[in-house]
Structure 1
Amino acid sequence: MTMPTPPTGVVPPVCTPLTPDREVDTSSLTRLVDHLVTGGVDALFVLGSTSEVAYLTDRQRTLVVDTVVRHVAGQLPVLAGAIDTTTPRVLDRARAVVESGADAVVVTAPFYTRTHPAEIARHFRLVARDCAVPVVAYDIPMAVHSKLPAELVLELAGDGVLAGLKDSSGDEGAFRRVVLGKRAEPGLAGFAVLTGSEVTVDSALAMGADGVVPGLGNVDPAGYVRLYRACRDGDWARARAEQERLCGLFGMVTVGDPGRMGGSSAALGAFKAALHLRGVIDCPATAEPQIPLSAAETERVGKHLATAGLL
């Protein structure tokens, strides 16, 4: 499916199910895709942070995109992360995901090396120049240690370099500046502004965001679809109730003991444990060197699911 416009609505960053020996479980991956499609999502984003892209080998990354694109078979657009340290490596990954059939690529600022804003701008321009599909910027300073300034995002969007923004910065003020800047420029009407937050979706959509990319959407895609539709319809009371239910469900990311694991292990482990408990994937394993949840922690994930009406 070629995207006529950048994606809007609910675009979950698809988890990558793994086998106990940490290979991609393609059978579970296709069941997860069916679960998301049945939930009513508008597009799929593979090879993002929730997909554990940083932990996957190039071979595994290619297998993920090939599997999802083939299984979706044009029902929905598929965005794929081309996430790597520098421009040449990103271009290599972009070519690979486009060859696999991705409809757009999602790209962060360069990382590991320290980059100036002018170099970040050059990075996106070079990627867009040599990429055959639309480029969506991924603002995630926690991971790449550079914040994409709102002014730069709008400049690149105005120049046709960027088709959209996935904002996982947590900087609501900067996010709003992008939304307001888009609104002020008629030429940016087709530029998609997406929040990566699970817990402030109603606020972001009220600001004027075009959609949401929620990791928790793997667990409850239908809930985020209901939330998006309520906001779109202007039913803010229904939206707030759905958002608050999802906030409660998102509490599962805190079940991991911070004394023995990092936040990524806890959150991704919780999402996968929830998918396993819901019968969507066969194994809740996360990629090495992440620490797995204990049986007691997994039981607490189950309680969050039950409270949210998902078990």
Structure 2
Amino acid sequence: MTIATAASGVIPPVCTPLTPAHEVDTASLTRLVDHLLDGGVDGLFVLGSSSETAFLTDGHRRTVLDTVIGHVAGQVPVLAGVIDMTTPRVLDHVRAAVAAGADALVATAPFYTLTSPAEIAVHFRTIAARAGLPLYAYDLPVSVHTKLDAALVLDLAAEGVLTGIKDSSGNEAALREVLLGRRDRGIASFSVLTGSELTVDTALWMGADGVVPGLGNIDPHGYTRLFHAASKGDWTTARDEQERLFRLYDLVKVARGRMGGGSSALGAFKAALHLRGVIDHPTTAPPQIPLNAEETARVAEHLTGAGLL
């Protein structure tokens, strides 16, 4: 499937189920995809942060691409993360994603090495030229340590280099700057997606086109209800759904202090999917450590409180 228009709606970043031996659990992955499709999502984003892409080998990445794209079979667009430190490494992932049949690509700015805005522009232009697919910028300063400048993003959008952006910066003012710049410069086809799953109603009210919610793995139906209510201008229903999801998101905190925030969140997502019967194992990739029995029980309490268990 080729994305004829810029992406919109609910596009979860698909978790990567693993076996206890840390191989991709393809059977669980296809069940997770079915769970998300049943939730009414508008697309899937594989090999992003919630997919643990930083922990996956190149072979694991290819298995994820082949499994998801093959199973979806064109029902919804599949956006493939091609995230890596530098342009040559990203281009290797681009070739794999194109060969697997991805509908669009998602890339961060380079990281580990410090780069300038001019070099970031070269990075995105090179990817777009080589790929021949829609390219989304992934603004993730917590991991990349570079905040994408709104003017740079909009310049690249106007050039046709970028089809959209996934803004996971958590900076609502910066998100608004992109939205206003898009309007002022007449780049209506440029897609703005928020990755901040706790303020989706606000982002949609400001004019964002959709959301890429990690928590959407657990409750895709909730995010589609939120999006559909907002699309109809029913902001009260959208707010109520957002507040329910806001409380559910507390499950990511059950292991904070004993492990890193990212490990706690990914562990909680996988524990929740396991408790809901979607995946066979809550295994996370090393060196992340698993949730213990008490923490898993607290995840179950959050699921019960949200009406999901």
Same fold? TM cut 0.5: yes
User: Which residue pairs with 1:106 in the alignment?
Assistant: 106
TM-score by length of 1: 0.99
Question: Structure 2 matches for 1:197-236, cutoff 5 A?
Answer: 197-236=196-235
Deviation sequence 1:41-85 (CA, Å, 0-9, x none): 000000000000000000000000000000000100000000011
**Amino acid corresponding to residue 278 of structure 1 in structure 2:** R
User: Which residue pairs with 1:278 in the alignment?
Assistant: 276
User: Which residue pairs with 2:65 in the alignment?
Assistant: 65
Cα distance in 2, alignment partners of residues 278 and 296 from structure 1:
17
Mapped pair 1:247 → 2:243:
no
Cα distance in 2, alignment partners of residues 280 and 210 from structure 1:
28
Structure 1 spans left out of the alignment, 5+ residues: none
Deviation sequence 1:147-199 (CA, Å, 0-9, x none): 1011111110011000000000111111100011111222x111100000110
Identity %: 67
Deviation of residue 217 (structure 1)?
A: 0.2
Matched position secondary structure for 2:50 = coil
Deviation of residue 257 (structure 1)?
A: 3.7
Deviation of residue 134 (structure 1)?
A: 0.7
User: Which residue pairs with 2:260 in the alignment?
Assistant: 262
Matched position secondary structure for 2:165 = strand
Cα distance in 1, alignment partners of residues 281 and 7 from structure 2:
30
Matched position secondary structure for 2:227 = helix
Question: Structure 2 matches for 1:82-231, cutoff 5 A?
Answer: 82-186=82-186, 188-231=187-230
Deviation sequence 1:231-252 (CA, Å, 0-9, x none): 1100011011000000000000
Cα distance in 1, alignment partners of residues 183 and 232 from structure 2:
19
**Amino acid corresponding to residue 211 of structure 2 in structure 1:** V
**Amino acid corresponding to residue 18 of structure 1 in structure 2:** L
Alpha-carbon RMSD: 0.6
User: Which residue pairs with 2:18 in the alignment?
Assistant: 18
Cα distance in 2, alignment partners of residues 148 and 98 from structure 1:
25
User: Which residue pairs with 1:298 in the alignment?
Assistant: 296
Cα distance in 1, alignment partners of residues 154 and 266 from structure 2:
32
Cα distance in 2, alignment partners of residues 25 and 257 from structure 1:
26
Matched position secondary structure for 1:189 = coil
Cα distance in 1, alignment partners of residues 294 and 71 from structure 2:
35
Structure 2 spans left out of the alignment, 5+ residues: none
User: Which residue pairs with 2:32 in the alignment?
Assistant: 32
Cα distance in 1, alignment partners of residues 37 and 98 from structure 2:
22
User: Which residue pairs with 1:46 in the alignment?
Assistant: 46
Could you list the structure 1 runs, at least 4 aligned residues long, displaced by more than 4 angstroms after superposition.
none
